[in-house]
């Protein structure tokens, strides 16, 4: 039996999920104007109690690795690393864009979402959810112009962008947990998937 606890706090719409043998047992959307650090663990403990899960029975922990909020991505990764270390369990980090691609049906899938500053985070995956090129942050028109023909667009906000696209859920922890099962590793090896450099890095380069 494989049990995965998944955490995603990479955007304003966070989520938690329990995944057992590839099936989502429960997925809980999270929203907190003050960030997720103070609500994450109480909500997770209550969720696990509802299903009789204990940390010693968890196979691995999974985090949404971004791209997204720098602080939010770090919160999920730190939580997953800490939980995995305490439980002597494995862990995984999963791209949020790849998790979105799980909801597509075409041979080529192009998930994207708002990166603010007039840009989007986007990527292309094949039907096996393998990346076809790098994940990017850029203007939507330029990104769309670079896409191969017949690609399926996926986003949580098609009306905002004025596009015809498959609507993906904002809560991605369930998909992250499902994808994590095959890539569990030492939690110390986990890394973030920022795509965009931080403001501090950009300001340093501009000096």
In the chain, where are the structural domains located?
3-96+170-195, 97-167
Q: What is the per-residue pLDDT for 199?
A: 46
Q: What is the per-residue pLDDT for 197?
A: 62
* Distance between start and end Cα atoms, the chain: 53
The whole-model pTM stands at: 0.93
Same fold, 3-96+170-195 and 97-167: yes
Architecture per CATH, 3-96+170-195: 2-Layer Sandwich (3.30)
| Pairwise CA distance, residues 75 & 49, whole Å | 22
Q: Pairing state of beta strands 166-167 and 152-155? A: parallel
| Pairwise CA distance, residues 80 & 78, whole Å | 6
Contact (Cβ atoms closer than 8 angstroms) between residue 92 and residue 186: no
Q: What is the per-residue pLDDT for 207?
A: 45
**CA 35 and chain centroid, separation:** 16
Q: What is the per-residue pLDDT for 37?
A: 86
Q: List phi, psi (to 5°) of 39.
A: -110, -15
Q: What is the per-residue pLDDT for 196?
A: 72
| Pairwise CA distance, residues 11 & 96, whole Å | 10
Contact (Cβ atoms closer than 8 angstroms) between residue 169 and residue 103: yes
Strand order in the sheet with 90-94: 23-30, 14-20, 3-8, 60-64, 90-94
CATH 3.40.50.2300 fits 97-167, yes or no: no
Positions of the chain with pLDDT under 50: 199-207
| Pairwise CA distance, residues 123 & 97, whole Å | 7
Q: Is 49 left (phi over 0), alpha (psi -120 to 50) or beta?
A: alpha
């Amino acid at each position: 039996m494989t049990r995965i606890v998944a955490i995603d706090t990479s955007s304003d719409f966070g989520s938690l999920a329990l995944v057992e043998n590839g099936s989502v047992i429960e997925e809980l959307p999270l929203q907190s104007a003050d960030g997720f650090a103070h609500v994450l663990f109480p909500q997770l403990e209550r969720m696990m109690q509802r299903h009789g899960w204990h940390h010693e029975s968890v196979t691995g922990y999974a985090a949404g690795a971004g791209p997204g909020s720098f602080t939010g991505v770090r919160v999920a990764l730190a939580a997953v690393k800490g939980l995995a270390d305490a439980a002597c369990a494995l862990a995984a980090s999963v791209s949020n864009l790849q998790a979105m691609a799980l909801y597509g049906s075409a041979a080529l899938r192009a998930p994207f979402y708002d990166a603010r500053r007039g840009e989007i985070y986007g990527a292309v995956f094949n039907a096996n959810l393998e990346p076809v090129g790098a994940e990017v942050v850029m203007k939507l028109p330029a990104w769309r112009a670079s896409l191969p023909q017949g690609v399926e667009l996926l986003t949580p906000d098609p009306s905002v962008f004025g596009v015809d696209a498959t609507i993906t859920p904002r809560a991605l922890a369930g998909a992250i947990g499902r994808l994590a099962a095959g890539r569990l590793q030492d939690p110390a090896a986990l890394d973030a998937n920022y795509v965009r450099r931080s403001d501090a890095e950009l300001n340093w380069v501009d000096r």
